[in-house]
Chain A
């Protein structure tokens, strides 16, 4: 077992464990913070899989902005009445479905890709990714920018429309 594998396994355990804590924690803010840990560990995994540009984007977008957004949302929607529980009644069905989905997917992966190795020959640097993005993928990229713009305007309209009334 190489060092890379060892680090990956550690990061994987951290990611899965913090994700579990995030989804089961009773404190809403704790959930958001545990999610930061998860996303950070996943970003580490990206680095180990020779995708350093994606890893930075993950850290910037997710850990930087999305989680901040979530924490703002949590604060803005502070409930006046104390909620009874943070999980609903069908938690056991949800847990069963989650376990079944995870095991099913994992079994499929094991069945399909057992014994395959990642060589890591092509490293996803900013340069190479940018090359690909602005040559081969430029049209989807432009469309995506339009989608983002639309979502941005939509978010502003939706969140403002209630306060105007």
Chain B
């Protein structure tokens, strides 16, 4: 495996250089005062026309996200040399990762909305390419196409949002367009359009189903794009745009409702999955919804903190999942178990990851979820744009989600790492290029929690809830339950995909045939009528152009007679 790393050092080095440059750029911004401070620049002249000037600008939160992206990207690149180094299309794979990182930095680092859009679209393209990396399988092709199409719906929302912002504020620059002193205009329209954009990109209800179907992509890519960074860019965008719609109760309530539905739904779906990757994907959906809940509660800092922490521990879990798949050859839960002895590094690092997912002290997951729950609780007082009742409902849903999250994290931990090893399994530890990133991420899972705020009341409540979820599952495990429960509606994921798989094609077909009918019966009347009129006119003119001398002479004589008669009558 060392030879693989050696032969692919170029791509790793490229990513490392990118990461280094980004780090040199971003690290100084981490310590700037004003955690989420926008710096409205009233003197700054911004041209009224769209430009593609990069306009780089970082503030602490975006610097953190840049560091998260390049860090996880570098680790994934190293990991991939071992995991995918022998793949025939490794080169394109590695280069697309680099392209993705550049696009992500563009989205996070720019203040020019059009550059942001370009980066956003390039990320979607990279996502499509990487999901479809194993395009020999129909599953990967279908997943890639689905992800691409669904995120296009979202991109439409972003384009419209940018246009509305440009029309409203007269500039396409985020800093120049910042509303001063809460005089946000068109808040509801911008908020709802941004919501459409982020709902698609971050796989929120009702556009959630593409993310689990994106799992045929290579596992390191799932860790990078579909857990840590790209889907989280939706949360970043929602937070970044928050000043535009912070006053809009409608937009924030819609976001809260979507977040509430999605977080509980994702957690419940994750609870019943029989496939580790798919379960982790649903878990990602649920966690992203938690971040949106924080944004909806007008506390984007908490949401972005959780974004960073989640990016770290979910990347850890996915990369660990990759190690397990490397060992057993599949991601099905039934094929795993008893990993503690043969794969100690994977076992311990994934245990840390699951602990962070469940929200156990002192992992980063605990602290950031604590912040989110605190933000929700603060919003229940109702002095923000979100109504108190809505915030209460969201808070309760988030607590239930915490319980379910702890339960499914425990279940996955038990099913994959403990328990009896399936017969005939000859598991062995992954190579260093794969375990190394795991260790780094495991350390980061603790490191991110340094300096995070801590809220006593909520912390105790969430710890109790998490412990209840863990205890419940452990109790059932002890009593000999296989933990394979799957009520039919949940196993079928409530059939929420049906509108897309059945109604949308039918609707599209109906609309298309209606358009065809319209085109044939209404629009084509004009060309056909024109053709008929031309044919008629031609036939009339053919009488004159008869190639018959006498007809010509007759017409001539008739013309002369008519002219003379007219002349006589007139004079």
Residues of chain A having any CB pair with chain B under 8 Å: 88, 90, 93-94, 97, 100-101, 104, 108
- 14 extra interface residue pairs, beta carbon distance < 8 Å, beyond A93-B558, A97-B554, A104-B565: A90-B550, A90-B551, A90-B554, A93-B554, A94-B550, A94-B554, A97-B557, A97-B558, A97-B561, A100-B561, A101-B561, A104-B561, A104-B564, A108-B568
19 A-B pairs within 8 Å (CB atoms) are namely A88-B550, A90-B550, A90-B551, A90-B554, A93-B554, A93-B558, A94-B550, A94-B554, A97-B554, A97-B557, A97-B558, A97-B561, A100-B561, A101-B557, A101-B561, A104-B561, A104-B564, A104-B565, A108-B568
When each residue 535-571 of chain B gets 1 if its CB lies under 8 Å from chain A and 0 otherwise, what string results? 0000000000000001100100110010011001000
Residue of B nearest to A88 (CB): B550
User: A93 contacts which chain B residues (CB < 8 A)?
Assistant: 554, 558
Q: Which residues of B contact A100 (CB under 8 A)?
A: 561
* Cα–Cα, bound, A108→B567 (Å): 13
Interface size bracket, B side: under 10
Residue of A nearest to B550 (CB): A88
**Cα A113 to Cα B354 with chains together (Å):** 125
Q: How far is the CA of A88 from the CA of B549 in the complex (A)?
A: 11
Chain A positions within 8 Å of B550 at CB level: 88, 90, 94
A84 to chain B minimum Cβ distance, whole angstroms, is: 15
Question: Whole-angstrom distance from the CB of A127 to the nearest CB of chain B?
Answer: 40
Chain B, residues 341-357, CB within 8 Å of chain A (1/0): the string is: 00000000000000000
Q: What residues of chain A lie closer than 8 Å to B554, measured between beta carbons?
A: 90, 93-94, 97
Query: B189 → chain A, closest Cβ, in Å?
Result: 73
Across the A-B interface, give the 7 residue pairs with the lowest CB-CB distance, nearest first: A97-B557, A90-B554, A100-B561, A93-B554, A88-B550, A97-B558, A101-B561
Distance in Å from the Cβ of A29 to the closest Cβ of chain B? 22
| B-chain residues with CB within 8 Å of residue A94 when the two chains form the complex | 550, 554
Give the distance to chain A from B94, nearest Cβ to Cβ, in Å: 83
- The residue on A at minimum CB distance from B560 is A101
Considering only CB atoms, which chain B residue lies closest to A100 in the complex? B561
Residue of A nearest to B546 (CB): A90
> Which of chain A's residues has its CB closest to B565's CB?
A104
Q: Which residues of A contact B564 (CB under 8 A)?
A: 104
User: A80 → chain B, closest Cβ, in Å?
Assistant: 22
Q: Which residues of B contact A90 (CB under 8 A)?
A: 550-551, 554
List chain A residues, Cβ under 8 A from B551: 90
A93 to B553, CA, bound (A): 11
When distances are taken between beta carbons in the complex, the residues of chain B under 8 Å from A97 are 554, 557-558, 561
When chains A and B are docked, how far (Å) is the Cα of A51 from the Cα of B558? 34
When C-beta atoms are compared, the residue in chain A nearest to B561 turns out to be: A100
CA distance A104 to B560 in the complex (A): 12
CB closest residue in chain B, given A94: B554
Scan residues 90-118 of chain B and give those whose CB is less than 8 A from a CB of chain A. none
Name the distance in Å between B547's Cβ and chain A's nearest Cβ.
13
Instruction: Report chain B residues within 8 Å CB of A108.
Output: 568
Closest CB-CB distance, B459 to chain A, in whole Å? 108
Measured between beta carbons, the chain B residues less than 8 angstroms from A104 are: 561, 564-565
Q: How far is the CB of A110 from chain B (nearest CB, A)?
A: 13
Bound Cα distance from A93 to B555, whole angstroms: 10
Whole-angstrom CA separation of A101 from B558 in the bound complex: 9
- Please, which residue of chain A has its CB at the minimum distance from the CB of B551? A90
How far in angstroms is the closest Cβ of chain B from A24?
A: 16
> In the assembly, what is the distance between CA of A101 and CA of B561, in Å?
7
Q: Provide the bound-state CA to CA distance between A124 and B454, in Å.
A: 140
CA A6 – CA B188 in complex, angstroms?
Answer: 110
Could you tell me the distance between the alpha carbons of A19 and B474 in the complex, rounded to whole angstroms?
Answer: 128
B557: chain A residues at CB < 8 Å are 97, 101
Cβ of B556 to closest chain A Cβ, rounded Å: 10
Closest to A90 in B: B554
Bound together, the chains give a CA A90 to CA B555 distance in angstroms of 11
Residue numbers in A under 8 Å from B558 (CB-CB): 93, 97
Residues of A close to B568: CB separation below 8 A: 108
**Roughly how many angstroms separate A88 CA and B550 CA in the complex, as a whole number?**
9
Query: How many angstroms from the CA of A103 to the CA of B554 in the assembled complex?
Result: 17
Bound state CA distance, A100 and B565, in angstroms? 10
In the assembled complex, the Cα of A108 lies from the Cα of B557 at a distance in Å of 18
Nearest CB of A to B524, in Å: 38
- Whole-angstrom distance between the Cβ of B546 and the nearest chain A Cβ: 10
What is the minimal beta-carbon distance from A94 to any residue of chain B, in angstroms? 6
Name the B residues within 8 Å of A101 (CB-CB). 557, 561
B396 to chain A, nearest CB (A): 96
A109 to chain B, nearest CB (A): 13
Tell me how far the C-beta of A107 lies from the nearest C-beta in chain B, rounded to whole angstroms: 9
How many whole Å from B554's CB to the nearest CB in chain A? Answer: 6
Complex Cα–Cα for A79 and B301 (A):
107
The residue on A at minimum CB distance from B564 is A104
- The complex places the Cα of A108 from the Cα of B565 at a distance, in Å, of 11
B11-62 at interface with A (beta carbon < 8 Å): none
- Interchain nearest-CB distance for A152 vs B (Å): 25
What is the CA–CA distance of A108 and B550 in the complex, to the nearest angstrom?
Answer: 27
The A-contacting residues of B in range 497-531, CB under 8 angstroms, are: none
Which residue of chain B is the closest to A96 with respect to CB atoms? B558
Within the complex, the shortest CB–CB distance from B440 to chain A, in Å, comes to 101
Complex Cα spacing A101 to B553, Å = 14
How many Å from the CB of B129 to the closest CB on chain A?
75
Nearest A residue to B562 via CB reads: A100
Closest beta carbon of chain A to B557's beta carbon, Å? 5
Docked Cα-Cα span, A100 to B568, in Å, equals: 14
Residue of B at shortest CB range from A105?
A: B564
Contact digits for B381-416, partner A, Cβ 8 Å, 1 yes 0 no: 000000000000000000000000000000000000
How far apart sit A88 and B548, CA to CA, in the bound complex (Å)?
Answer: 11
Shortest distance from the beta carbon of A96 to any chain B beta carbon, whole Å: 9
B557 nearest in chain A by CB position: A97
CB distance from A89 to the nearest CB of B (A): 9
The distance in angstroms between the C-alpha atoms of A39 and B561, with both chains bound, is 26
Contact with A along B66-87 (1 / 0, CB 8 A): 0000000000000000000000
